[in-house]
Structure 1
């Protein structure tokens, strides 16, 4: 078991879009001892890149667009509400290459991955186009190497497909790794929106707002072609690299 960092325990879950990242945030918020932050770098990412995402102006107006200030708060500031555990839901592509990412090494980092074909298929249901850098896997692979080198060991990797087959044991194993007790409260939560949800939630969180737990596992067979297939194929080596390091239960 890894020793828990000093209070607060800052759990940074690095994911890409169209994963189970918001449901995972629900699970941690429902513990009772945990504050959560929903994509705290999103406003800075949009302000810096100029990308046109749903609700862009609202997101920028509502969030902090100073990337370095947000990074300092996430890595050294107090947890919201003084909670002993601080779960940070991050999209890896929100990291800004022009700034150092050394601050990430102060966090208890976990990587949440999903097959890129499934991500691309889901992403294109809400967006007209997709590029490799949009789905975060390339950035996840790079950040994984950074964290492993800095901390001297590979951080945990959870594959969403594995996780949904049996969420309880995976959460229990992750909590043990982090030096936390597991609670069954992480498996069920009340339906509805949360004050902690990002202001972009109306564009993306409809299914999560209706949920009371993790979705049941089901086999998926994405059918991609053209540019969508090229994007998934471009991200597949990064996915396979991370998948080789994934948490496998006995």
Structure 2
């Protein structure tokens, strides 16, 4: 009998797209090696970090683990052998690896998790309000982020997808987070079929709280502790929150602030190109 093939998946995301819930879904696989945003750690906290947030300096000084978090270190870690594991799974922001595509780990199938720009930007805006509690000003957060371009974060996802498709020669796999709240079973079954995992209804239910198997730097844990509301819903969840098809929970454009509305409008063309490639519920 041939040995079981190990499946390796890199999930590239827009922020606030149910990605932590997706990570918990992948945690239902017993023999899994799981990584939570290692490139984000390199981007925010490592020696090559591209975002310099002075308010985090006091955190960094007490976290020796981030000294090793170069982009090459993350790549090498993800490419290591993990014997005895049926699944190696990492999830990360597409923006975090933007401009460092040479560090995309080899041997992975690349999957892209997206969400409507109105939901992404409204949620990020609320998150930035939470960040004020640790002294991070919203304007500084964006102005100091050299990877935040007109159309980000959906632009970052699309350009990474095009690299995976055109340079690496992989057919893109795209999932819309909203579809996971309508028919998670159908979407995940198709996803598993594409990437070579065995689908089970046990993927739809999980235990509350972070999984102790998640590999994540203490720096990330410390930041999340400062912004406790950021992942409360995902950490306490036991499954995808379902909604009825046709019901919409997003904020109308007319009710958004000028700044958020501009971000939504800039991101929408990139989202529409991505959404045209997504796994369809009706397929």
Q: Distance in 1 between matches of 2:58 and 2:15?
A: 20
Aligned CA distance change for structure 1 residues 153 and 103 (closer, same or farther; 3 Å): closer
- Shift in Å at residue 231 of structure 1? 0.9
Matched, 1:173 2:205: no
Structure 2 length as normaliser, TM-score?
0.77
- Shift in Å at residue 227 of structure 1? 1.0
Q: Distance in 2 between matches of 1:192 and 1:53?
A: 30
Q: Distance in 2 between matches of 1:54 and 1:192?
A: 27
Match of 2:72 among 54, 68, 73: 68
Contact 2:18 2:234 in 1 (8 A): no
Bigger mean CA deviation after superposition, 87-96 or 125-134: 125-134
Match of 1:212 among 226, 238, 251: 238
User: Match of 1:126?
Assistant: 127
User: Match of 2:115?
Assistant: 114
Contact 1:7 1:85 in 2 (8 A): no
Aligned CA distance change for structure 1 residues 59 and 40 (closer, same or farther; 3 Å): farther
Bigger mean CA deviation after superposition, 127-136 or 194-203: 127-136
Task: Give deviations 1:181-237, integer Å, cap 9, x for gaps.
Answer: 112221101112332265144332211222111112352231313111111111111
- Shift in Å at residue 155 of structure 1? 1.1
Q: How does 1:208-247 map to 2 (within 5 A)?
A: 208-217=234-243, 219-222=248-251, 223-247=255-279
Matched, 1:78 2:110: no
- Shift in Å at residue 93 of structure 1? 0.9
SS of residue matched to 1:124: helix
Aligned CA distance change for structure 1 residues 146 and 210 (closer, same or farther; 3 Å): same
Q: Give RMSD over aligned pairs.
A: 2.6
Bigger mean CA deviation after superposition, 38-47 or 192-201: 192-201
Gaps of 5+ in 2: 130-137
Q: Distance in 1 between matches of 2:57 and 2:175?
A: 30
Q: How does 1:26-45 map to 2 (within 5 A)?
A: 26-45=24-43
Match of 2:97 among 77, 95, 98: 95
